[in-house]
Amino acid sequence: MSRKIRIISLAICTAILLIFFTACTRQGEVQPMLDIEKFDYANGLFFDFRIVIGDNVWDAAQTVQLRILPTSPLFDPFYTDFVLVQNQEQASELPDYVIAAWPRAGGGEAAIETIHWVLENPSRWPSGNLRFQHATLEEVGLSYPITVADLVDSWEKVNALLQSFSSASRSAIWNAALHGSFSVPLANSCAGVG
């Protein structure tokens, strides 16, 4: 066997072992990967976060991301669950190994107001020469009006609805969640975006 093949084989075996061992907790049980889709949803709607690192509580989404992505050099298998809660008080009651996120004050309401506006004004969001058809609330299992509680308790349904929207609609929703305020999106700025 040539030297290159041995080095490549050794690198592959090392990588496999590293992946296996980082997926194990201190008790030797295989840890399921935290729900990255749930994190992306919460991050996209600018939720607030809580992660305990040592004796410190951190609230930055980037800090959470670096700890939960197995490919990150800061990945930490200590964190066994990622949950959405209604508020910071609920998050503070959780054990340190649980990462929590909740709708930002004002951001959840602004995102919902924008979602309702998009649903009520579908013709304002052209997609090329065809009208963009997004899912309805009924198709994803939601009912009107969407509430801040729905952003947490029915996050998968809300996420399915958001994913059915055009990128321009999602951008307007993300912008409202970030700034905590709703403003009527300008249809002309979205022409041709699908």
Residues 68 and 38: their CA atoms lie apart, in Å, by: 12
- For the segment 30-85, what is each residue's pLDDT rounded down to a tens digit? 444 567 888 889 888 888 888 888 888 877 777 778 787 778 888 877 777 888 99
133 and 79 in one domain? Answer: no
111 and 87 in one domain? Answer: no
126 and 90 in one domain? Answer: no
Q: What is the dihedral of CA 18, 20, 23, 25, to 10 degrees?
A: -100
173 and 119 in one domain? Answer: yes
Residues with Cβ within 8 Å of 98's Cβ and at least 6 positions away in sequence, in order, are: 79, 80, 81, 82, 83
55 and 36 in one domain? Answer: yes
CB 125 within 8 A of CB 132: yes
In which residue ranges of the chain is pLDDT below 50? 13, 17-18, 20-32, 126-131, 188-194
Which pTM does this prediction carry?
0.70
Residues 190 and 194: their CA atoms lie apart, in Å, by: 8
- Of the residues 75, 102, 129, the one at which a domain ends: 102
Q: What is the pLDDT of residue 157?
A: 92
- Of the residues 87, 102, 117, the one at which a domain ends: 102
Q: How many structural domains does the chain have?
A: 3
Q: What angle do CA 89, 103, 159 make, to 5 degrees?
A: 135
46 and 25 in one domain? Answer: no
Which domain covers residue 165, as residue numbers? 107-190
37 and 25 in one domain? Answer: no
125 and 75 in one domain? Answer: no
